[in-house]
Amino acid sequence: MRALSRAAFLTCALAGHAMASADPAGEDAPVQVVEVKGSREDDSRLAPGSDARALPGSVTGVTAADIATINVGRDISNIFRRVPGVVANNIDQGDTGNGFRMRGFATQGTHGADTAIYIDGVPQNIPSSQGGAGHGPAFLEWLTPDMIANVDVIKGPVSALYGDQNRAGAVVIDTRAGGAATPSSAALTLESYGGRRASLTISNEFGDVRSLLVADRYRVDGFRHGAGNDRSNLFWKLSRTIGDGVYSLRASWYRSEYAGAGYLLLPSLETGLDPHATQFGLPGFGDARRASLVFNRRPLAGDAGWFATVYAEDFERSRAITTSTTQHTYGYDDRAIYGARAGNTWVFGEAAVLTAGVEARKDAGDAYRRQYVRLQPSANYINNQDLDLLTYGLFVQGQYRILPALKLHGGARYDRFDYDLVNRKLPAASTDYTGSAVTPKLGATWQARDGFEVFANVAEGFRSPAAEQISSSGSLGPLGAPGGRINAAIDPSKVRSHDLGFNLRPAAGLAFSGAVYYIQNDDEIINTAPDVFVASGQTTRKGVEFDARWQATRALGAYLSYGRILRAQLDNPAPGTGARLSVPEHTWKAGAQYRSAVGPGTLTLNGDVYVTRGNPYYMGTPLRRRDMPTYVRHDLKATYDLGKFQGALWATLQPHAFASDIAYGTAAGLLVSTVPQRQAGASLRYFF
């Protein structure tokens, strides 16, 4: 791996956010159910740069207290389990990325692309990844629940603070700080199928310096034959208030070795194939390493002031995907990543707020896919590139209250890409690339009356072209082969999103929110011929979302959400191909939480149900459309707090045989990553 010291930091910007905390559940604590808000002016934990404070759109917040009541298990994607309209999962093949789907954007083959994901101001999407899948995947496995303070999910590309991949929206995650806000603890967890976890959180204050150390070790054998994961996470964060700012420095280290059992054909399962079986009898495999160093500065209080983030990462990941009884496709990334963001927020009384900043990121290293035969590397590659990717941009965002009940919001980004691509497989296709994108945002929020808010916006977002789309590598073959094609004129793919929604609080403890959206992508990057990529496709997405929350008493709360994709398809599909995109037409989420004193302690009960239906795929010759089986998941969790001890029991039930949230359509039929119908676990935590 390339050492972090190999390059100097670049300058540029994102605000660090104020840190939320979660103490052990107490008898007097109100029920915590995922919070959905439009404009968020009353949320003091958000600092400038988070921008969820006043966006004219749908924003969902998840706190550390929420996460403590969720069955996170081995998959950190479960922290999004209750977020309305979101389908999030790991693909169950080891630490291979975190799928995230919303607003009709599909993660099939991209593992989180089309949503810009930031942690402590650091972008998580990896461009042109080969050790994961696709262009812009997000790998969040280095996070554990004990590290997370809060999460904001911003629907649609309405924020100017987030650039590449911000087409469906953005996810902003803040890590926790040490000191009195975060209790120290040690925990042991046992789960089905050999899952075992040990975690340690040490929170201290040394004079004016707050320290948080989190160590986590997790191993699981897996439901499928040949599957398993061995993961270690280490996180250390120091924070200090100096003058009118809060400064923090964090270091993290992550290691994982994993094996994946691949996918099984649904028709074969229905005729008796063992759901524990391994695809072709040959498990996939891989490993990952990630080390990060991040510095943040944010204003101490209020909005006004300057903010900054500077970061460096070593990133290495491999993944071998089974393709036959003897072969794997082996993908590998080895990157050194450096970047920074910086800016300032000005507050003009009650009338206006303005934020402006700059950012840059350098991503340099190797990315290739190679054919393995009988677990040994062959001379044949799908692609092999030496990447030197520089991106930088400017952003401005503001709001202006023109009337007491009417607020306008606007922003814009300019992003530029300067790439140097060395194609080792087809050297003649090596090239430089320069491209740019301008994405404006405009919206309004109207406070129609107390407790009733209406918002609307139109915003553009974009996704950069992948290195393989710019410098194509042809068919399978050795390094140094003749030929090659350069698509240097390709432009970033841009979307225009329209939203209209509301937030309603008709009575104390009762809240409703909803939105309709229309998203058109006028220049989707498509493959028009072998090795020819052009930005000429068009996709359209339409949908509605609704969410209801009820806080019946301090002890009892409930939620219900529904998302409907009215249209998600290619408008001009190539002959003989399917038009519908692989996203569920219907997504339901519902749940309740009850918390009460029982004996000398406090009992918290959580029940959640998640349903997806109408997810299309194509099979056969000629192709015909079918729907994946309806997927249903029930999550149950009971937590009991007694003094310094916290015990928890949980179960996950998936009643439909062979149904899966993780499936891919092929001409031969639906490929499914089978999951157990019943899982259970128990944990014991000691606070000190």
Q: According to the model, what pLDDT value does residue 106 have?
A: 72
At 582, the pLDDT band (50, 70, 90 cuts) reads confident
Sign for the CA dihedral angle at 463, 468, 474, 476 comes to negative
Mean pLDDT, range 230-254, rounded to an integer: 97
Is residue 371 over pLDDT 60? yes
Sign for the CA dihedral angle at 423, 428, 432, 434 comes to negative
At 584, the pLDDT band (50, 70, 90 cuts) reads very high
Is the Cβ–Cβ distance between 283 and 259 less than 8 Å? Answer: yes
Higher-confidence residue: 366 or 222?
Answer: 366
Q: Which of 160, 158, 176 is nearest to 168 (CA)?
A: 158
Q: According to the model, what pLDDT value does residue 624 have?
A: 86
For residue range 412-421, what is the model confidence (pLDDT) as tens digits?
A: 999 999 999 9
For residue range 302-325, what is the model confidence (pLDDT) as tens digits?
A: 789 999 999 999 999 999 999 999
Q: According to the model, what pLDDT value does residue 31 have?
A: 39
Q: For the chain, give the percent of residues with pLDDT over 90.
A: 72
Higher-confidence residue: 662 or 68?
Answer: 68
Q: How many CB atoms lie within 10 A of CB 569?
A: 18
Mean pLDDT, range 173-197, rounded to an integer: 94
Mean pLDDT, range 432-443, rounded to an integer: 96
Domain-by-domain residue ranges, the chain? 4-687
Is residue 206 over pLDDT 50? yes
Q: 419: helix, coil or strand? A: strand
Is the Cβ–Cβ distance between 242 and 303 less than 8 Å? Answer: no
For residue range 35-71, what is the model confidence (pLDDT) as tens digits?
A: 444 333 333 333 334 445 567 788 999 999 999 999 9
Is residue 273 over pLDDT 60? yes
Is the Cβ–Cβ distance between 144 and 159 less than 8 Å? Answer: no
Is residue 549 over pLDDT 90? yes
Residue reference for tokens 């219907």: 586
Is residue 17 over pLDDT 90? no
Q: For residues 662 and 224, give the distance between their C-alpha atoms in angstroms, rounded to a whole number.
A: 14
Question: How does 188-215 read in b/e, with b if 16+ C-beta sit within 10 Å?
Answer: ebebbeebebebebbbeeeeeebbbbbb
Q: According to the model, what pLDDT value does residue 16 have?
A: 31
DSSP 8-state code for residue 508: T
Tokens at 607, concatenated: 């029940």
At 88, the pLDDT band (50, 70, 90 cuts) reads confident
Q: According to the model, what pLDDT value does residue 39 have?
A: 34
Higher-confidence residue: 396 or 527?
Answer: 396
Q: For the chain, give the percent of residues with pLDDT over 70.
A: 89
Mean pLDDT, range 155-168, rounded to an integer: 94
Mean pLDDT, range 69-92, rounded to an integer: 88
At 233, the pLDDT band (50, 70, 90 cuts) reads very high
Q: According to the model, what pLDDT value does residue 437 have?
A: 96
Q: 429: helix, coil or strand? A: helix
DSSP 8-state code for residue 351: T
CA distances from 590 to 36, 153, 567, 634 (A): 14, 18, 24, 10
Higher-confidence residue: 294 or 468?
Answer: 294
Residue reference for tokens 């006004």: 304
Q: According to the model, what pLDDT value does residue 662 have?
A: 79
Is residue 18 over pLDDT 70? no
The answer for residues whose C-beta is within 8 angstroms of residue 480's C-beta and 6 or more apart is 424, 425, 427
Q: According to the model, what pLDDT value does residue 528 have?
A: 56
CA distances from 637 to 81, 82, 151, 591, 603 (A): 14, 14, 21, 11, 11
Q: According to the model, what pLDDT value does residue 552 have?
A: 95
Least confident interval from 68-77, 88-97, 417-426, 679-688: 88-97
Mean pLDDT, range 196-222, rounded to an integer: 96
For domain 4-687, the CATH superfamily is TonB-dependent receptor, beta-barrel domain (2.40.170.20)
The answer for residues whose C-beta is within 8 angstroms of residue 172's C-beta and 6 or more apart is 17, 50, 52, 118, 151, 152, 154, 162
For residue range 674-687, what is the model confidence (pLDDT) as tens digits?
A: 888 999 999 999 99
Q: What is the residue-averaged pLDDT of the chain?
A: 88
Q: According to the model, what pLDDT value does residue 254 have?
A: 98
Is residue 1 over pLDDT 50? no
Q: According to the model, what pLDDT value does residue 526 have?
A: 62
Q: Which of 507, 515, 500 is nearest to 458 (CA)?
A: 500
Q: What angle do CA 137, 140, 143 make, to 5 degrees?
A: 170
Higher-confidence residue: 612 or 529?
Answer: 612
Is residue 243 over pLDDT 70? yes
Q: According to the model, what pLDDT value does residue 49 have?
A: 46
DSSP 8-state code for residue 67: H
Tokens at 334, concatenated: 């080895």
At 6, the pLDDT band (50, 70, 90 cuts) reads very low
Is residue 633 over pLDDT 70? yes
Give me the half-sphere count of Cα atoms (radius 13 Å) on the Cβ side of residue 85: 30
Q: How many CB atoms lie within 10 A of CB 78?
A: 20
Is residue 511 over pLDDT 80? yes
H-helix or E-strand spanning residue 636: strand 631-642
Strands (E), 95-168: 98-101, 115-119, 122-123, 148-155
For residue range 479-493, what is the model confidence (pLDDT) as tens digits?
A: 999 988 998 888 898
